[in-house]
Structure formats: C-alpha cells, structure tokens
Amino acid sequence: MGLGSLEAVSLARARELARGYRAMIKDPQNPIDPLVQADDIRAKAQAERAKQKTFSECAEAYLDLNRSTWANKKHAQQWENTLKTYAYPHFGDVRISEVETGHISSCLLPIWKTKTETATRLRGRIEKILDWAKVSGYRNGNNPALWKGHLDKILPKPSKVSKVVHHPALPYEKVGTFVEGLRSRNGTAARALEFTILTAARSGEVRGATWDEIDLNKKLWVIPAERMKMGRKHEVPLPDAAISILRALPRTDSLYIFPGAKVSAPMSDMTLSKVIRRMGLTDITVHGFRSSFRDWAAETTAYPREVCEMALAHAIESETEAAYRRGNLLIKRVRLMADWSKYCEMAQPSAS
C-alpha cells in the first residue's frame, strides 16, 4: 500500500508506518488488513459527508432523478413550487439527517386549514424525499413526515378541515339544450368539451388523453394511474356518441386526442372554458358538468350511489368499504353512461 509521497513522508516515517501495518496484519488476537481499514475509513468519511447534505439539496436530487419518469411536466413544476414556497423557508438549509417532526409541522400548520389540499400534497412529497434520503444513506430513523401513526396525532384529518369547493354547474335540465348548441360548433375544442360532458371526466383527464388509452372496439378509455387525481387506474365506458366523436376526429402525428396549438402538447386549461364563454355562459365551469351528471343520476335514475361515484372516479369515503371493494362496477357503468348520453341528446326547456 502507498504510504505517501517522498515530499510528504520521510523515509524514517515510512519505515515506522510499515512496521505498524505489518504488526496489525500479524496480530494473533485481532489481525487487521490496513488496506481494508483504509477503505472503511474512507467509506465512513464519505457517509458522514453525505449526511451534511441539506433537505433542499436532497429534494433537488430526488427531482432530477424522477423528473423524466413523470409524463406530465406540470407535475414536476408543482413539486418544485410547493417545496420552494412552503418547505424550503422552514428547513431547506437544515441537514437532511437532522430534519425532525417540528420542521415538518412548522411548514404544514400555517396552511393546513386554509390550503388543505396543497398541504396534504406537500406532506406526501416531503415524505417521499425523506424516504429516498434514508435509503440513499443520508439519514437514519423514522420518517417524520409519515401521516398514519405520526402526523395524524398532531394535525386534524384533511377531510375535517378542508372546505368543499363547489364548481358552478349547469342545471342538468339544461344540459341537452347546451349539447345541442355545442354540436353546432366546429373545432377540436368543442368536440373535447362534448367528450368531457359525455364521459363525466375531469378536464385534465380529457385534455391529456392519448390515443393509446382508447380501445374503440371495446368502447373503453383506460386512464393510467399517474394521470388520475386519486392515483388509481380508471376505466371509462364510452357511449356511442363519444365513440362517434373519436372516429370523426382528424388523426395527426400527435399522441394527444385533443392536441393544443402545438401538436406535441395537450390543449390548454382555458381552451374548454373559452368555448363555454363564447356560447354566452359566464357563470358555469367545465368541472361543473360533473355535478350536472351527478345531480341527474341522483334525481332521475335508480342507479346506486356507489356506481355513480365510481363513474366520477371519486375516492371511497368509508375506509371499511374501500378495504372490501375489489371491482370497478364497469358493467353497470356502461349502462349508466349510455343513459347519460341519451339524456344529453334531449334538448328541453329548463324547469320553471
């Protein structure tokens, strides 16, 4: 093994070191290989230096590793924005090995009741970063951002404090008349809005839909988990009217069914809203058509609640029910969406 350069280590010192190392090797009680010992010392020093990494440094490393795996670029931007806005000011410069529960609660408490959805997503992101840091050898111990059995003892359950936002919706009695007017309009945006209404899907799910998610023969749209709000794959039965829209659309080089101004990108957030505004309606939203669908199903049909909620891809509120739910009620939802599609084609005056 090298003992150092002649300029740094004298011959006498080199002989002294060599004798010491030989003695270590020949020690009958505890022989030690000095090369292995040197490697261990270097490894421990490297591990100790790694623990000097700050939370923000680890967060940036985590983002760099995962950015390419996220299909939606907006998703990565949302991660960065929430971390920089809420987490970094509180413990961004704290060594990752020293991040504790107090650091997490300090950034979550101010927004837990006022921006509950943002706060819950932020907590989950911090948890993932800390998990990654532990596996990477940058920290030890339990994850202080863990919810169940930890932060749930400090913070109230999100569903107990979050304010329900009701999106302005068109009364279901007026949907048929609206769809009739919508079909008189040309353009991809109008067809995307009609498809959104017929499937009772979220705007983002429709705008980000790709052709490989569609099975025209099975009349099925399968949205992958990473594009769903609840993080679970969702199967949407397509009524004949929705299939007709898809078959009539021009096929371009774009992966997206409803591309935006650039074929390589999906339609923008405001495009569907602008269609509604051009039709003279300023007091409803695209998302509100999901409420129109839900009101119609509840007030005019006998479909069970769970079938309607599954059609909207809503989370199951009851933990017990969720634990036993295995199917997706697809056969029943096929009939439900077919009935909704037929209703959407019946223009009628609103109830007085």
Give the homologous superfamily in CATH for domain 172-344.
Answer: Intergrase catalytic core (1.10.443.10)
Closest C-alpha to 260, from 192, 183, 194: 192
Task: Please tell me the distance from the alpha carbon of residue 170 to that of residue 175, in angstroms, as a whole number.
Answer: 7
Tokens, residue 94? 């704290």
Tokens, residue 26? 């020949």
pLDDT tens-digit readout, 35-79: 887 777 777 766 666 567 899 999 999 999 988 777 566 778 889
pLDDT computed for residue 324 by the predictor: 46
Compare 211 and 162 and report the one with higher pLDDT: 211
Mean pLDDT of 147-159: 91
- In the predicted model, is pLDDT for residue 352 greater than 80? no
- In the predicted model, is pLDDT for residue 214 greater than 60? yes
Query: How many Cβ atoms from other residues are within 10 Å of residue 4's Cβ?
Result: 11
Tokens, residue 131? 């998990």
Closest C-alpha to 298, from 192, 220, 264, 306: 306
Q: Give the class (CATH, top level) of 55-161.
A: mainly alpha
- In the predicted model, is pLDDT for residue 106 greater than 80? yes
pLDDT computed for residue 88 by the predictor: 95
119: exposed, middle or buried (C-beta count within 10 Å: 0-12, 13-18, 19+)?
buried
Note the Cα 25 to chain centre separation in Å.
Answer: 56
Tell the residue number behind the tokens 């109008």, with chain if given.
190
Instruction: Yes or no: say if 204 and 301 are a contact pair by the CB < 8 Å rule.
Output: no
The domain spans of the chain are 11-46, 55-161, 172-344
pLDDT tens-digit readout, 227-256: 887 778 899 999 999 999 999 998 888 899
Task: Please tell me the distance from the alpha carbon of residue 228 to that of residue 69, in angstroms, as a whole number.
Answer: 16
End-to-end C-alpha distance for the chain, whole angstroms: 94
Backbone angles phi, psi at 107, to 5 degrees: -90, -25
The amino acid at residue 313 is A
Mean pLDDT of 280-287: 91
pTM, two decimals, is 0.58
Tokens, residue 350? 């609103």
Mean pLDDT of 308-333: 71
- In the predicted model, is pLDDT for residue 163 greater than 90? no
Task: Please tell me the distance from the alpha carbon of residue 76 to that of residue 203, in angstroms, as a whole number.
Answer: 19
Task: Please tell me the distance from the alpha carbon of residue 80 to that of residue 74, in angstroms, as a whole number.
Answer: 10
Task: Please tell me the distance from the alpha carbon of residue 285 to that of residue 17, in angstroms, as a whole number.
Answer: 79
- In the predicted model, is pLDDT for residue 350 greater than 70? no
- In the predicted model, is pLDDT for residue 299 greater than 70? yes
pLDDT tens-digit readout, 302-319: 999 999 999 998 865 555
Which of the 8 DSSP states describes residue 231?
S
Task: Please tell me the distance from the alpha carbon of residue 90 to that of residue 103, in angstroms, as a whole number.
Answer: 7
pLDDT computed for residue 341 by the predictor: 96
pLDDT tens-digit readout, 117-126: 899 999 999 9
Q: What angle do CA 244, 71, 225 make, to 5 degrees?
A: 70
Phi-psi region of 118 (alpha: psi -120 to 50; beta: other; left: phi over 0): alpha
pLDDT computed for residue 323 by the predictor: 46
